[in-house]
Structures are given as structure tokens and as C-alpha cells.
Amino acid sequence: MNRIGIVFYSRSGTGRVVADRLAELTRWPVHEVRDAAPRIGLYGDLRCIVDSVFKRKPAFRYAGPSLDSYDHVVLITPVWLRSLAAPMRAFLDTERPLLPAYSVICVMSGYGGFRAVDDIATVTGARPRSILLLKQYDVLAGESDAALCRFKRQILTAGQASDWADPVLPAVD
Ligand SMILES: Cc1cc2nc3c(=O)[nH]c(=O)nc-3n(C[C@H](O)[C@H](O)[C@H](O)COP(=O)(O)O)c2cc1C
């Protein structure tokens, strides 16, 4: 598995910190999914809530390469209302035909990460190969390196697709 890329969405910067750090540790290229209309302030908060509650798929911008130019994509997304952040939902809904094997990193205050991963599996119709849930506090305190290194190792050392048929998903704690 040679071609691995990172695709992240981040509203307030935590996911960006994770994406940049993982890129430093791996040299994998990073690409961003952005909001078409920035979510700033209280109005931005409200839009996040409405988009989550109604499972809306808001407009987004993505200037990265086609996902099928990778063998494996690492998706990084925040958790909103115990579910997948709406811009990443919209991105995956559009791009799912091109999505190769993938893994997920969720950033969150503390809960709902597995629900968000479940959302991704539902939208894409495929299970992730590895999962990492990170708390914002740990990320911003610079305490996620060890978990990111284990996550990287898990992706690189996992075998071919058939080895991933195990019903238990590998999750890095
Ligand atoms: C509308 C909204 C809903 C959120 N819901 C949750 C939640 O259910 N569980 C949680 O742990 N964190 C929740 N958070 C916190 C974010 O997941 C957390 O701050 C995350 O680190 C933000 O990532 P970002 O800085 O990359 O945007 C929520 C944040 C917002 C804006």
C-alpha cells in the first residue's frame, strides 16, 4: 500500500492540528475539506446544530486530488452532536464512489466518536480499517503523538484487504 493520503475537515482547528501532525509523522499528503460559507460565531454554531439535527449536506470546497488516486485515505473529522460533522458527511456523500480503503480519526470533546464512525460507514457503505478517537484537550496539549504513531503503524502493518475481514475493527485507544 504505497499511496496514502489524509483528508480532513476542521471548523475550529483541532482536526487541522491532528492532520498536520500526522503528516509530519508520516509524510502523507494532506488535503482539506472547507466550508463554502465559513461557520463563524454564534450563527456558525447554530448552523452546525441545524445541519447536524437535520442531517443536511452543506456546500463544501475540496481542491485535493481525486480520492481514487490513493490506495488508502485517512479521514479526520470532528464529532457534532454525537454524529459526523455535516461538511464531512456532505463530502463523503459526493465522493463515496471514489473512496478507496479508509481509516478514521475523530476529534471531539469526549463522547460520540463511535457514532460518528458509524455514520461514516453508513454514508460510504464500507467499514473503516482503523479507528482513532482523540479528545480535543489531549490534542491541544500535544499529547496525541503516541496514539498517532500507533495508528500509523496499524495502517502500515495491516495486511491486504482479506486480512481486514475480521469482524472486530482495530481501534487505537
Ligand atoms: C455543534 C457542535 C456539536 C458538538 N458535539 C459534540 C459531541 O457530541 N461530542 C463531543 O465530544 N464533542 C462535540 N463537539 C465538540 C467538537 O467535536 C470538538 O470541539 C472538536 O475538537 C472540534 O474539532 P475542530 O476544532 O477540528 O472543528 C461539538 C462541537 C460543535 C460545534
pLDDT in tens, 116-150: 999 999 999 999 999 999 999 999 999 999 999 99
The pLDDT of residue 162 is 44
41-to-33, 46, 47, 51 alpha-carbon distances in Å: 19, 9, 10, 15
Quick one: CA dihedral 66, 153, 121, 126, positive or negative?
Answer: positive
C-beta 4 within 6 A of ligand 1: no
Pick the more confident residue, 162 or 165.
165
C-beta 77 within 6 A of ligand 1: no
168 has pLDDT over 70: no
pTM for this predicted structure: 0.94
Give the residues across from 106 on adjacent strands: 77, 133
Cβ atoms of 61 and 93 within 8 Å: the answer is: no
Helix pair 86-95, 41-53: axis angle to 10 deg:
50
Could you give the domains of the chain? Answer: 4-160 (3.40.50.360)
Distance, CA of 160 to CA of 46 (rounded, Å):
43
Please tell me the distance between residue 35's alpha carbon and the centre of ligand 1 in angstroms. Answer: 16
